Amino acid sequence: MALEIVLITGMSGSGKSVALRALEDAGYYCVDNLPPELLGAFVALEQQASAERVAIAVDVRSATSLPQVPAQLRALRQQGVVLQSLFLDSTTETLVRRFSETRRRHPLSTNTALDQQHALVEAIELERELLADLREHAQVIDTSVIRASQLQAYVKSLLSAPASQLTLVFESFAFKRGVPVDADYVFDVRMLPNPHYEPGLRDLTGRDEPVIAFLRRQEDVQRMYSRIEAFLDEWLEPLARDHRSYVTVAIGCTGGQHRSVYLVEQLAAAFGARWTTRRRHRELDGR
């Protein structure tokens, strides 16, 4: 049986430790902050021990060695290793708040700057540059506004999908809480009729039958659905041929409760017959 490896990378303060704990709970042997220079030797050792599932966290503390990682990952795949890469990200504002709340020192920060806030932002932006190549080749998970329990559920859900196939992730969100940074495509549906203004529908969601019935009657909603479906129908095959492992389609409305949830549910159901699909409702999950 081929060795399965999950590589966890991402921004400092984005929740990599939480993700690693989720994988440990799922039966993975987990290693934190493995120096990239040791990656090949470590994998060979695990293969000799007949290990089946391993999770490895690599971060900016190994900054000088990070450029080696993409080539190492390609080599491992050529050896038959089943490899999935997850990148945890958050907005700069969120990361600044987290470091301020915990009073942790960013691994790239220095003690020479007089303006600590400015120094922290500079360290975060430098980290983004150093990790940009790893982010480009990974499934990105935006942890800006989700709880630890949601992140653990997201990680387990993504890893339950076949690694050799493109996985289509549909995500609903509220624009008032920001656009997810993990989105490959973003569709704004705030112009559609809003069930929030219907007294009997306000406290329901796009998964409830009365809301579904209301939105199905709206011509604009159905036209929007058809346009998104047609766009994805045209471009998913080329994306799969380009060896993309994940595509995240984010659909946003004002509150992330009705219209975006409805469209995510409908699209996930339609594409589920042809592609491996996952659905997220950022504002509803974990309620």
Annotated binding site: which residue ranges? Answer: 10-17, 59-62
Cβ count within 10 A of residue 212: 19
CA angle, 25 then 28 then 29, to 5° = 115
Say how far apart CA 176 and CA 191 lie, in whole Å. Answer: 15
Residue 97 region by backbone torsions, left for phi larger than 0, else alpha for psi between -120 and 50, else beta: alpha
Instruction: Specify the 3-state DSSP secondary structure of 249.
Output: strand
C-alpha 252 chain-centroid distance: 16
Residue 115 phi/psi, 5° resolution? -95, 100
Say how far apart CA 281 and CA 265 lie, in whole Å. Answer: 9
CA angle, 285 then 286 then 287, to 5° = 95
Tokens of 143: 């942890």
C-alpha 76 chain-centroid distance: 23
The binding site for ATP consists of 10-17
Confirm if 73 and 165 have CB atoms less than 8 A apart: no
Residue with tokens 């984010």: 250
Strand partners, 251: 172, 187
- How far the first Cα of the chain sits from its last, in Å, is 39
Confirm if 167 and 138 have CB atoms less than 8 A apart: no
Confirm if 132 and 10 have CB atoms less than 8 A apart: no
